[in-house]
A and B are shown apart, each in its own frame.
Chain A
Amino acid sequence: MMNGMPLSGVRNVFKIGVTMPEKPKLAVYWGASCGGCEIAVVNLHEKLLDVDAAMDFMFCPCLLDTKKKDIEALPDRAIAVTLFNGALRTGENVEMARLLRRKSRLLVAFGSCAKGGCIPALANFTTKDDLLNTVYLDNPSVDNPARIIPSGTTSFPEGEIHLTPLLERVKHLAQEVEVDYYIPGCPPESHQIWNVVEAVLSGDLPPKGSTIGCGTLTVCDDCDRVKEEKRITAFRRNYEFYPDRTACLLEQGLLCMGIATRNGCGAPCTKANMPCTGCYGVPEGIQDQGAKMVAALGSVMDIGDTTGLSEGEIAGRVDDFLATIPDYAGLFYKYTLASSTLGGRVMR
């Protein structure tokens, strides 16, 4: 693919790529991530050939065989764009983030892990020790009589193995290195990746620090369901009923995060009759997606007529209502805990 011939007819778009003797270098790297972002890149399908025609796709451990030492060997700022996905969970993640920052002209936090910590950052609700205990010792399916928790350097007859240390807390990319742009999504939608590639190649980029490859509104704008005034009497979960296909899912009692989530995805989840889980993160101008969601829901939860009720009775109604929300943190901060005001569990 690296040497693949560009398709005819699309060359006009990539004049730079064609006329310059050396194509700009493109790197895609993963930190603590699931690989979904790479799949989103591969989901460009035949457009990947256009990418390859325009750029030198030279580093991607998931897809290509380039090694870390190859990157180290490059001059600083040799890579035009690095799309860095995944959160920073380990020392190795941080080391690679710093290396790629040094070698790249544009470092892009690619996907919700790099942008806001995403699922890996939910570990910030516990301590590193608790995490390791759960994984290696207390898990019912683990058989570890020697109570070994892998860490540090281990010697074998063949030599030593060095395990990278876990950070105390999961970080998002910008908490360790300077980030030029952010692309949201878990993973980013392929058509938006393509939009970003085009923008990078044309040089038509917004001010540094912007979030790109997305819209400027919320998912509600992408979602064509019928919205009405919202008064929610209780939350329900997907398994409990078949939602109406045309009415707003939130109004039907599903905890749809679309209201407090940046748009640009095209609302594929609500189109599939599933509530938005918020993967495109905070909308423009919002600091904290979870807090915003709580504020918004708090404003429309309907606990009924409270006239004549005592304070205790009203509090009881609120508690009953809130009991219909299964997991506040995992729900409201699934994609943004590391970048939220809260950040995680407050350690004392």
Chain B
Amino acid sequence: MKIGVYFCNCGSNIAEKISSAAVAEAASFFPDSPYVTIVDFICSEEGKLQFEDSLKAEQPDRVVVAACSPRDHEATFRSCLTNAGMNPYLMQVVNIREQIAWVTEHPGVATEKAIAAIRGAVCRVRLQQPLEKKQLEVCPDALVIGAGPAGMKAALSLAEAGRSVVLVERTPFIGGLPVRFEDLFPAMECAPCMLEPLMGDLLHGEHPGKIELMTMAELVEVTGFYGNFIAKIRRKPRHVSLHECIGCGECVEACPATTMNEFNSSASGRKAIDFAFTGVLPNAPFLMEEVCVRAQGVECRACKDACPMGEDVVDLDEESTVVERTIGSIILATGAGLYDASRVAGLGMGVLPDVYDAMQFERMLSSTGPTGGEIVTAAGAVPSSVAIIHCVGSLDEDHNPYCSGICCRYAFKFNHLVTAKLPGASITHYHRELVVPGKEAHMLLRHAAGNSSTTLKRYAAISDLAVTRDDSGTLHVCSRGEVTPVDMVVLCPAVIPAEGTDRLSALLDVSCDSFGFFRELHGRTDAAQSTLKGIYLAGACQEPMDIRSAMLEGMATAGHTLAGLQPGRTIEIEPIAAEVDENGCAGCRLCLSVCPYHAISFNSEQNISHVNAVLCHGCGTCVTACPAGAITGHGFTNEQIMAEIEGVLQ
């Protein structure tokens, strides 16, 4: 077997420490006595040409490149082999730069190490076999879960590119959390107005046929893998046809049953059939079966009779259905929720009237909310003083150790809105740290700090604060002995993963971090990808995030989908993957739980395991685990690894 060793000097990076002459001399004693060619910069254009020309002239059976980390240039050298007409997997890269030259002081020792490592590679490369990439046909369509800012942006971007999208939303409406806010930081834009064009596009824009919106729906099962997922989605009955309802509200008037409206933080009532809130999109009510008098056995069809659009709009007998869709990728945009502020003791949440969390206060500020945007106390009075407490459960080892990132900015937005609605009202901010990143939010901080009726007070620990109420009904914020009477307290709780994130994580096998947010493939370089191939993360489901970032992440996930799966194009499957020898598998099923990518399935009929090469990342965990030795890691067989170890230790 003819083996070529290509030794890169990397300028002086390698040459300074490792003697190429000594390596060449030693190589004559390696198995098959490989020839050694020395190149100055093998990754340079000139170097690559020299490498390719040499490969064409020498026509070696196997190649060893002793150069930098394979992370840097393995792909480069593989292309060179391909260009020279060789199978690119007949090469082994030895990292003599980072692992030897840069970390070894003495040149003699470095040369010895390099000789041992290259000898190992020569012994190993002799056993390497040509490998071929496989092609697989894929479905280019996507499933987006969550119709908040991130999910809507992802769905629209994909639709613009001509992709079909299934957009699944748990609530009866789109727009996520911010559609329920009045104004948004940092520029005090009207939230529904800002989101309206996006929501309009989604519902009635140029590509509505491309987006299949399912409200009141939840993912219940996913099988398959990247490029070929099959999703089952349960659609709960809305009892109102989205296509035919014109949103006139006649049915709401007629409905006899009432309950509290959770979308107004239960601060106002609603009918059994009603809109989630005023101005909601899609502009149609939904019927709460458990509230409807029919649930108590009463025969009622008041809503159906009241509908001016005919018999078919309200369907009282509609049942939950499960639909199945084939998609190639999944975008998780399930958003965030707020930490239960009553878990932070002493602040009066849920105990004292006029202590609100941020979501309740957002709804109070909203013109579509329970008070129509008026700031009033539970007793109906206009407050003359408001305390806003930051960092409730954030930056707190007893609750959530992270900074929620958005709270200071919306707290100063509250300041702005309270000042505008209640001129002269005094506002006290209790904060631990002040975090107002970005180029715009400082204006809000400056506005609050420059406001003569605003006081900023820093506290050290949330336990230093206590909210109490005296007999007259006045609230008191006590901070280390200093007592401030106020009429209303607003708490800014930590941003936490949306309810149900854990269920979705279990269902999809997408891992979560210790805080319960979806874990990114890499926090910096691959933040929009989950740990599973073809499942992407957009928005606050992966960490507390503002709308700007969520929208950008929506775009990013659309980008991943568009780049990865293209109509008519197949995906390439990397051949460095695990494969089960069907004749060697005894069916013990030990490998099934070890695969971090869920690439292994079990064929009960044949009693053997199977590795899905699309999902396999070639990590080798199952190869090690298989007690029968029936799983081969192509490119990393046991024989190759043993040969390399023996070569190094000779």
Q: List residues of chain A with CB under 8 Å of any chain B CB.
A: 216-221, 227-231, 248, 250, 258-260, 263, 283-287, 292-293, 295-296, 298-300, 307-308
Contact = CB atoms under 8 A, between A and B. Distances in A.
A220 B625 contact: no
B207 to A, nearest CB: 40
The 3 residue pairs across chains A and B that have the minimum distance between CB atoms: A299-B625, A260-B627, A221-B586
A308 B397 CA distance: 12
A300 B514 contact: no
19 contacts: A216-B583, A216-B584, A217-B585, A218-B586, A218-B588, A218-B627, A218-B628, A221-B587, A230-B592, A230-B593, A259-B586, A260-B628, A283-B629, A287-B638, A296-B625, A299-B624, A299-B625, A300-B590, A307-B512
Nearest to A227: B589
A307 B586 contact: no
A215 to B, nearest CB: 9
Given A217-B584, A283-B628, 14 more contacts: A217-B585, A217-B628, A229-B589, A230-B588, A260-B628, A283-B584, A285-B630, A292-B629, A295-B625, A299-B594, A299-B624, A299-B625, A300-B590, A307-B513
B629 A259 contact: no
A296 to B, nearest CB: 4
A169 B588 CA distance: 35
A263 B585 CA distance: 12
B523 to A, nearest CB: 15
Interface residues of B, number: 25
Contact of B588 (A220, A285, A292, A293): A220
A295 B587 CA distance: 17
Contacts of B377: none
Contacts of B233: none
B594 A217 contact: no
A231 B592 CA distance: 10
A25 B624 CA distance: 44
Given A292-B627, A292-B629, A259 B584 contact: no
Contacts of A307: 512-514
B626 interface: yes
Given A229-B593, A295-B625, A308-B514, A284 B588 contact: no
A259 B583 CA distance: 15
A269 to B, nearest CB: 15
Most chain A beta carbons < 10 A, residue from B583, B593, B627: B627
A111 to B, nearest CB: 22
Interface in B630-650: 630, 638, 642
Contacts of B584: 216-217, 283-285
Contacts of B589: 227-230
A150 B590 CA distance: 49
Given A228-B589, A230-B593, A286 B621 contact: no
B583 A229 contact: no
B134 to A, nearest CB: 25
A308 B583 CA distance: 42
A286 B629 contact: yes
Contacts of B642: 287
Given A218-B588, A307-B513, A259 B593 contact: no
Contacts of B621: 299
